[in-house]
Amino acid sequence: MDKNYKNFNNFVFLSSFARNLSEVFIGTILFKLGFSLHMVIYYYLLINLFSNILDFPCILISKKYSNNILSILGILSFIALQLSLSFITYDIIWIYIISFLFALYRRCYWMARRYYTLQVLDKKDIPKKYSFVSIANQLAVMFSSYIGALLLQFVSINVITIISVVLLLLSIYFVMQLKFETEKNDTKINLIETFKCTPKSSILHIACYELLNVLKFLLPLYLIIYVKDTYTTVGLVTLLIEFSTLIFIYVYGRLINKDKNYLKLSIIFVILIRILQVNSVGVTLMIASFLLGFANRMYEQSLNKEYVILSKQFEYHNYNFMYEIIQNTSRLFVVSILFFFTNDVRIMIYIVLLFISLGLLVDFTTEALCDNSEVLWKEN
C-alpha cells in the first residue's frame, strides 16, 4: 500500500474519532446549558459566516506554506474548541468564541483533508480507494459518537477532552509523514476565473450537497426536543446511521465503479428518508435512521465520483477556494432563512430538504468549461 495512502487513513481515523466524541453534540450542549434554540441556530450561522471570512487566509496558508501546516492549525483549533467546551458557561461571549474556533478548525482541517484526498486517490480507481478512506472515517465516527454520548450522559466532558486531545496530537504525527511532490506551484489565485471554468450545474449540485451538514446539525436538536432529552438518544441514532453507512460504503463503491451513477436517485432517497425520520418515533425512527445511512452514503459517493473527476482538472488551491466559497455561502444563505423565519426544528429540516431538491433540476457536468486557463491543472 502507498505510504501516503496508509498515513492518510491513519490520520483520518484518529482525527475523526477524536472530533466526533463531541462535535455532533455541541448544539445540544448549548441548548442544555440554557441557550434558546434561536441562539443555537445563531451559533451555527456564525460558524458559516466566520468560515467564509477565513476561506482566503486559509488558502494563502495552504499555498504559501503547506497543507500540512494548515491541517495542524485545524487540529490545534479543535483542541482549543474542546478545551473551551470544558469551561463553557451560559454567557453570550462563549457563542462567539466556540463558533470562531469551530470555523477555524473546519476551514483548516477540511481544506487540507480535501487536498490529501485528491492527492492519494488514483483517478483510475476513485470509487474503490475512496471507499476505503470512507471506511476509516465511518469506523471512527460510528464508535466515537456513541462513546461520546455515554461519557456526556454518565461521566464528564472533561474525560472526552483528555481522550480527544491525546488522539489529535497523535494524528499530527501522521500528517507530518504526508509528502506530495505537487504541493506547491506558481499559479495565482483567481476565484472569478475558476467559477467561469466550472459548470454551473456542478456548482448547484455542490451547494445542495453541502446542505447535508445543516441537517446533521439540526438532527440532534430535533431528537432532544421531540424524541427524548438525552445525549444517549442522539448517540444511538448516530450509531445506527453510521453503522448502515459503513455497510453500504464498499458495496455502493463497486456499483458506481462500473460507469454508473445514481446521483438524482440518491437525492430523492435522502429527502424521503429524512421526511420519514422526522415524522416517526420508536422503532420506526430507528429503522428510518438506519436507512438514512444508506441514503447519505449513496448521495456522498455519487457526488464525489463526479466531483473528484471535475476537480482533478483544476489547479488545487483555486478549486478548493471555490469549493469553500460554494459550501459556506450555501449554508450561510439557508441558515439565515432558518434563523430569521422559523423557530421550529421540523420546519427547518423541511426547508433544507427543499433546497437540496434543487439538485434534481440539473445534471452534474464533469468537464471544465475552459480549454486553456491558468486555473486548470498543468502537468509537469
In contact, 269 and 284? CB cutoff 8 Å? no
User: What pLDDT is recorded for position 151?
Assistant: 92
Dihedral sign for Cα atoms in the order 250, 130, 72, 11:
positive
Helices 92-120 & 26-33 angle (0-180, nearest 10):
170
Instruction: Give dist(CA 219, CA 278) in Å, integer.
Output: 9
Output the domain CATH number for residue 198: 1.20.1250.20
Decide if 337 is inside a domain. yes
SS3 for 129-153, per residue? HHHHHHHHHHHHHHHHHHHHHHHHH
Decide if 147 is inside a domain. yes
> What domain count does the chain have?
1
Decide if 377 is inside a domain. no
Q: What is the dihedral of CA 95, 98, 102, 108, to 10 degrees?
A: 130
Which residues does 98 contact at the CB level (< 8 Å), separation at least 6?
26, 43, 81, 84, 85, 88
Q: Is 342 exposed, middle or buried (0-12, 13-18, 19+ CB in 10 A)?
A: middle
In contact, 308 and 256? CB cutoff 8 Å? no
Nearest residue to 283 via CA among 221, 239, 237 = 237
Nearest residue to 44 via CA among 360, 371, 352 = 352
Between the CA of residue 221 and those of 60, 224, 353, what are the distances in Å? 36, 5, 16
Decide if 366 is inside a domain. no
Task: For residue 50, give the H/E element and its range.
Answer: helix 37-64
Q: Is 286 exposed, middle or buried (0-12, 13-18, 19+ CB in 10 A)?
A: middle
Q: What single-letter amino acid sits at 285?
A: L
Which residues does 89 contact at the CB level (< 8 Å), separation at least 6?
33
Decide if 379 is inside a domain. no
Torsion angles phi and psi, residue 65, rounded to 5: -110, -90
**Burial 119-139, CB ≥16 within 10 A → b, else e:** bbbeeeebbebbbbbbbbbbb
Decide if 129 is inside a domain. yes
pLDDT in tens, the chain (380 residues): 477 777 888 888 888 889 989 988 999 999 999 999 999 999 999 999 999 999 888 888 887 777 888 889 999 999 999 999 989 999 999 999 999 999 999 989 888 887 777 777 655 555 555 556 666 677 777 788 889 999 998 998 999 999 999 999 999 988 888 777 655 566 788 888 989 989 999 999 999 999 999 999 999 999 999 998 889 998 888 888 888 877 776 666 566 555 566 889 999 999 999 999 998 888 899 999 989 988 888 888 888 878 888 888 888 888 888 998 999 999 999 999 999 999 999 999 999 999 999 999 998 888 888 877 888 876 54
SS3 95: helix
User: What pLDDT is recorded for position 330?
Assistant: 95
Decide if 375 is inside a domain. no
User: What pLDDT is recorded for position 380?
Assistant: 44
Q: What single-letter amino acid sits at 377?
A: W
Q: Is 18 exposed, middle or buried (0-12, 13-18, 19+ CB in 10 A)?
A: buried
What is the residue range of 54's domain? 3-178+187-361
Q: 482525527: which residue's cell?
A: 15
Decide if 380 is inside a domain. no
Q: What single-letter amino acid sits at 256?
A: I
